[in-house]
Chains A and B, each alone.
Chain A
Amino acid sequence: MNENFEIVIGLEVHAELNTESKIFCSCKNEFGAEPNTRCCPVCAGMPGTLPVLNQQVVESAIKMGHALHCEINNVTKSDRKNYFYPDLPKAYQISQFDVPLCGKGYLDILVNGEVRRIGVTRIHIEEDAGKLIHDDQSGGTLADYNRCGVPLIEIVSEPDLRSADEAKAYMESIAEILLYLGISEAKMEQGNMRADVNVSVRPRGQAEYGTRAEMKNVNSFSAVHRAVLYEANRQIEILSKGGTVEQETRRWDDVKGKSTLMRTKEDAQDYRYFPDPDLLTFVIPAEKVEELKVAVPELPLAKTQRYMQEFGLSEYDATLLAGQKQRATFFDAAAAYNLCEPKAIANWLLGDILKVLNDNKQELEDTALTPKNLAEMIELIEKGTVSGTAGKKVLDTILEKDIAPAEVVKQKGLAQISDTSALTAVVDTVLAKNPKAVEDYKGGKTNVLAFIIGQCMKESRGQGNPAILKEMVEKALQKL
């Protein structure tokens, strides 16, 4: 990247909401059904049918507005965006034009250890269009209207992002928040989330923005990163050769890793927005807006910062923990028992447990592990009741079934032996079996100590308290 230029990025993120039914009819809102089995006369735009707004959509959008610190316009309306395309059966999309449900707000994102505040211009609600499918048999195009009327929110950012990393982090952060709020599946690969990426470049130090190009069809987090870099480079190259960047809309092709021209500014469509006469102005009572605000949970960045400050977690661990709602909720619940060091919980969750989950391609909720059992297990280790090694055995069991760790220790005889009288025989046996090691130690090779203690652990079937064993072995060796 040419260091003389600064990249300026703004994102328009579309997220499908996971409401029970579609935005303007009672059709089920679900992904992956057989084509044209999740539509009715209303969402198929048949003549004479009318839309009726789903209140759940409004509530979900307001929650997102609160999460992004937006002003909420509690008197708002729907507008028609008119254009012809075969995936749009009414030839207009019901959206919001000049009075979006949510106005100005912001999102703080953490990039390379630094918190960046990204302005949010607006969030509005609208309906999704259908899907066009190429039909190999006929060589023609078929329309699937299942997606028509699926509720969307469009989150428009200010041009505050300055790098591909930031753009990607912003997208990921939006996805995390959608999941935290439980209002979207936020799966980019299923098309739950899509982004239009606006990119411009300008010489460093210049106050005015450069001419921007908008890229459509950017459909994964990594694609956002690649598309920004590609487009910035394209524009820098033009400017470096003394050319001018044209305002245009481009289509991102992630397979080829490049964008192609869709339309220039001259071809820009006139959508002839006007208030939809079928839907009245809607008024959301102030109490409802407040009620939804209270319902917004602690969000990922706040959690990350709290984990770092209160529990001394590293930024990496804190981000990893807070970035996934289930994991963070689990962690918070385990820590709340106050049985053990929160940091130890984080280490187990992000260490052994994450490894098991990854190996088995599982999520936390697929296992029997409860926050309480994990906290108790760690408590047993911290109190010295079991060794870390034995702890892992306990973990294996409590991942399989919901059983108190103390019970596991009892059933499997995993309790750590700290009683010196019980360990004397172990030490004596090991020293007797390993004369060479004893000799080496006496000859000054003190590093065999670890080997000897290891043998003692083995002899005690993992139950000996390693600290006490070390003390005893040292004492025994000195006596010899």
Chain B
Amino acid sequence: MELYKQTATSLAVMLRSKEVSATEIAQSTLARIKQVEPAINAFVAITEEQALAQAAVVDKQLAQNQPLGALAGIPIAVKDNICTDGIKTTCASRMLEDFVPFYNATAVEKIQAAGAVMHGKLNMDEFAMGSSCESSFFGPTKNPWNTAHIPGGSSGGSAAAVAASQVPLALGSDTGGSIRMPAALCGVVGLKPTYGAVSRYGLIAFASSLDQIGPVARTVDDAALLFSAICGPDKTRDATSKNFAFDGKVEASVKDLTIGLPKEYFGPGIQPEVKLAVEKAVEELRQQGANIKEISLPSTSYALSAYYIISSAEASSNLARFDGLKYGYTANRAGLDLTELIETTRSEGFGHEVQRRILLGTHVLSSGYYDAYYKRAKLLQLQIAAEFKAAFESCDLIITPTSPSTAAKLGEFASDPLEMYAADICTVTVNIAGLPAISVPCGQSANGLPIGMQIIGPKFSEQTLLNTAKCYETAVGGFAVAEVQA
């Protein structure tokens, strides 16, 4: 098998047995990236030089029999809203088209310390605002299973690159489903960790109270491996980070687990094929020993509104710093006073979706509207979190579809942003409640597009989530891999 097709876990074994070198892995990976990139457009930047240099370091360590990091020699690519020292970090926006951070995100520091080999920065919806990966300033990413379709978003580049076997591992970020949804649409595994499990330092904020960095991979073991490398406290740099540790070991088991199926997530808004596939996967878990019960999360229907209010409010403040005065895009300043320069820069530098959310967020925080929107949304957030907490008293995990439908065609959402917002219906509640959830592939639609199942757990139950996901993966004999027509 070609090296680029290998999982991270098997590459780690091959490397340690000196069956392959890190340089060979990097060369194979770079060739694959270039081969399918014209069809997929998953990358904003390919860091070939850095990949080969880092691989050489690993090979040297290997030759000298030095201890290797957990990710030594494993190719990885990083979503382009995660800061990389000396490498452009654009958020797929014209605003940051040429922005080069001089600091690393904590997650990037951690994967580098673990020896991962950086292959590039991945495409996304501009500033992570979107569910289709079409709002990128650098053009849309395509779904590796069918390039006429979207990969989902906002971490569309992360999911597509992994699905297209360009890299075995990718970092994404998830604010309302941005890891899980594209993972589902591209048929790969995506984990949104508990809020606070992974440091947010260096993640260019969209909605600070909801954002989390997480892994995307083709297998559960690979996702667990990457998650174990990036999680953990970072108290001196992120006040919201929590004491949490995970060793990366996963056991395929659902023994003694009770799984709840919230009826609100299996209603009329869900595409029948998706519903069927998830129900079939649940049945598989029941056969593996899990108890299944129906539950109710009645506030679910309000979650989307609460999510768009809270996330847009925070975004309006987080994105205010992009004014063209310090870094990033600056409009032609001739004849403009300070206010006009800032206005023009922001009008030209941000795309439509970003501007729409900044306006929405500014409005809901305005005096006279704060109580009616932001405050009520925050109350709903408490209620939604409380409902989950109550649900977890009678079950260990909750399973829902990840996305109500399979991947839309490119351009399908262009006329109606509300339709795109609705695609987040199954995932936003998890962010609102600060919970962990994983999306795993559970079959395909008749036209060959992947379907994902979302497994949600209580805070810091990542171990149980991964065990359950692996149990399913093992039971179905592994997940299918996309054949890309390059």
Contacts and interface: CB of A to CB of B under 8 A. Distances in A.
B314 interface: yes
Given A89-B326, A280-B239, A50 B365 contact: no
Contacts of B91: 47
A277 interface: yes
Interface in B327-367: 327, 338-339, 342, 362, 365-367
B101 A47 contact: yes
Interface string A78-106: 00101010100111100000000000000
Contacts of A26: 236
B71 interface: no
Interface on chain A toward B: helix, strand, loop, or mixed SS? loop
Contacts, number: 98
Contacts of B105: 48
Contact of A47 (B204, B207, B240, B317): B204
Given A47-B83, A47-B101, A277-B314, A52 B239 contact: yes
A84 B323 contact: yes
A91 B205 CA distance: 14
A91 B321 contact: yes
A48 B101 contact: yes
B442 interface: no
Given A84-B323, A91-B323, A277-B314, A48 B235 contact: no
A273 to B, nearest CB: 8
Nearest to B346: A84
A81 to B, nearest CB: 10
A331 B370 CA distance: 55
B201 A277 contact: no
B103 interface: yes
Interface string B79-107: 00111000001010000100101110100
Contacts of B200: 50
B367 A270 contact: yes
Contacts of B370: 272, 274
B202 interface: yes
B303 to A, nearest CB: 18
A277 B374 CA distance: 13
Given A46-B103, A47-B99, A90-B321, A272 B239 contact: no
B314 A270 contact: no
Interface in B213-272: 235-240
Interface of A: 26, 41, 44-53, 80, 82, 84, 86, 89-92, 143, 270, 272-274, 277-280
11 contacts: A44-B326, A47-B89, A47-B99, A48-B82, A50-B201, A50-B238, A82-B365, A272-B316, A273-B365, A274-B317, A274-B365
Interface of B: 81-83, 89, 91, 96, 99, 101-103, 105, 200-205, 207-209, 235-240, 313-314, 316-317, 320-323, 325-327, 338-339, 342, 362, 365-367, 370, 374
Given A90-B321, A91-B321, A277-B207, 15 more contacts: A46-B103, A47-B96, A47-B205, A49-B202, A50-B240, A51-B239, A82-B365, A89-B326, A92-B317, A272-B365, A272-B366, A273-B365, A274-B313, A274-B374, A279-B239
